[in-house]
Amino acid sequence: MAITTVNTTRKPDYRDLDLDFTANPGNSDVSRKFGEEAIKRSIRNLILTNFYDRPFRPFIGSNVQKQLFENASGLTTINIQNAIQETIRNFEPRVDVISVKVQSSEDDHYVVAGIKFLIKGRIEPVIFSVVLERIR
């Protein structure tokens, strides 16, 4: 009887298309994002997606863009923070959200969201920021 071992320490390999559509220099195909960068891109896309932007899946997204047109206040900041946490929790199963911190710049009309999350199967948390600006 042969004993086989299973490598349980192998980290999942996450892949995604680079939605900037830059060409891969090796084969002139669309570049891809791997691992942590693929997940960051996915979260960023979810946050920037409004409800009804995706055909046949109207409730995917955060609808944060709508909040950017509200008067800047503490309540608006809390609403944006809650929307980002809920969106990641509902639509990105590869991560667990640790914290979301939102800072608004009333004079410059933008919001910076700092997101700290843990990729499932990994030990160290990932921190990144997304700048949200209102676009007319």
Domains of the chain: 41-133 (3.10.450.40)
- Name the residue with higher pLDDT: 69 or 14: 69
Q: What is the pLDDT of residues 60-77, one digit of tens each?
A: 888 888 888 877 778 888
What are 78-133's pLDDT values in tens digits?
Answer: 999 999 999 999 999 999 999 999 998 766 678 899 999 999 888 999 999 999 88
- The mean pLDDT of the chain is 81
Count Cβ atoms within 10 A of the Cβ of residue 51 and give its class: 0-12 exposed, 13-18 middle, 19 or more buried. middle
